[in-house]
Structure 1
Amino acid sequence: MSATRLIRPALEALGGYADALDAGWSPFNVGGEAVVRAHLAAIARDAESFLASLEDPEALAGPITLPDGTTVPRLPSVTRWIWDGEFCGAIHLRWQPGTSALPPHVLGHVGYAVVPWKRGQGHATRALALLLPEARSVGLAHLDLTTDPGNIASRKVITANGGMALGHFRKDAAYGGDDALLYRIAL
């Protein structure tokens, strides 16, 4: 195994991403099977356009639909694939230009998901550390991250990168209104 690094989604690595989707893994913690089907269909239709959609720092792709069906404006965002010589997962950064604040329907600046067969190897911790300079480069003063209270692994990833717990909150109704934890990493 080589060192964990972040790569821009590219054709050379797309096979590993598609294989992970075929195995039932989702790059997002919300959306589950619907996201998997949509990504596989988009790859089959036009792989290059799919890859381009993962790099949208100007939010040109138009509005997004939340899990409850509500449509909201898209935020600028980028996706990086977690790589150790093969595909390990994905990490996503989203932001509002000119502010570190997020709209109420956005659970955090960063989301990440590691494929099950690569978990427990430090990939998410290292990926988050590697993403911090990119977050600074888009003008963020801090990152807000959220996790479910029972997700001990995610809590460890965040705190290993300097995340400080800000407390409990209720997720927006679009995400089921469940209890969650909010963390902040100062940049």
Structure 2
Amino acid sequence: MTLELVVPTRDHLPGYVDALERGWSPDNLRLVEAARELLAEIAADADAFLARMDDPEARGGDVVQLDGSRAKRLPGLTRWLWDGDFCGSINFRWQVGTEEMPPHVLGHMGYAVVPWKRGRGYASRALALLLPEARARGLRWVDLTTNPQNEPSQRVILNNGGELIGPFEKPDAHGGGEGLLWRIRL
């Protein structure tokens, strides 16, 4: 089956929950803790959770950073990767009227594929499918970040025409350390 991006709905939610219960997380820094929080959020109010996945007006409230600080939520959306089953997620955040991102946001897009479906080109395809959404929002480019050792994620960006801008120091709210900044011109 062909990979598609789907709007998170109750029909697709069981696959998402199963992936979280199997140890996958869309948060590559707080893996297990984030998965537990998401499962609790879904159990408490699945409809509110799903509504937060499409938030182009940034109504979802503040975002809690790794260091516990709170930051203003940006407009954004999340799509789930689907090939007949749940495969992962990709998200897109932006500021209206500019390509620039505030310091508490490392990039416009992030993605995570479940371990049992990696190596199939799904992240590259998902990014390619989501780039038109950024273009439709008037952006001329999107920035993405990777850890220096994350070669698979770097290949995803390169497969979509990305260019390395250079290294940068990640803020403490994102775990600190060195990161790589990439840009895809739209």
Give the TM-score, by structure 1 length. Answer: 0.97
Aligned-partner Cα distance in 2 for 1:59–1:67: 20
Query: Which residue in the other structure is 2:116 paired with?
Result: 117
Q: Where do 5+ consecutive residues of structure 2 fail to align?
A: none
Q: What is the aligned length?
A: 186
Matched position secondary structure for 2:12: helix
Percent identical: 55
Structure 1 equivalent of residue 152 of structure 2: 153
Which residue in 2 is equivalent to 1:128?
127
In the TM superposition, 1:77-116 aligns within 5 A as 77-116=76-115
Please report how far the alpha carbon of residue 6 of structure 1 lies from its aligned counterpart in structure 2 after TM superposition: 0.3
Worse-superposed segment, 99-108 or 29-38: 29-38
Gaps of 5+ in 1: none
What CA deviation, in whole Å up to 9, does each residue of 1:19-73 have, x standing for no partner?
0000111012233222211111111112121111111111001111100111110
Residues 3-152 of structure 1: pairs in structure 2 closer than 5 A: 3-152=2-151
Tell whether the 8 Å contact from 1:169 to 1:182 is kept in structure 2 after alignment: yes
8 Å CA contact 1:58, 1:76 repeated in 2: yes
Distance in 2, matches of 1:153 and 1:45, equals: 35
- Aligned equivalents of 1:117, 1:139: Cα separation in 2: 35
1:101-139 CA-to-partner distances (Å, cap 9, x unmatched) read 001111100010000000000000000000001111122
Q: State the AA in 2 paired with 1:23.
A: R
Give the CA deviation at 1:173: 1.6
Note if contact 1:28-1:111 (Cα within 8 Å) is conserved in structure 2.
no
Give me the whole-angstrom Cα distance separating, in 2, the residues matched to 1:65 and 1:11: 25
Q: Normalised by the size of structure 2, how large is the TM-score? A: 0.97
Give me the whole-angstrom Cα distance separating, in 1, the residues matched to 2:104 and 2:28.
15
Distance 1:8 1:94 in 2: 15
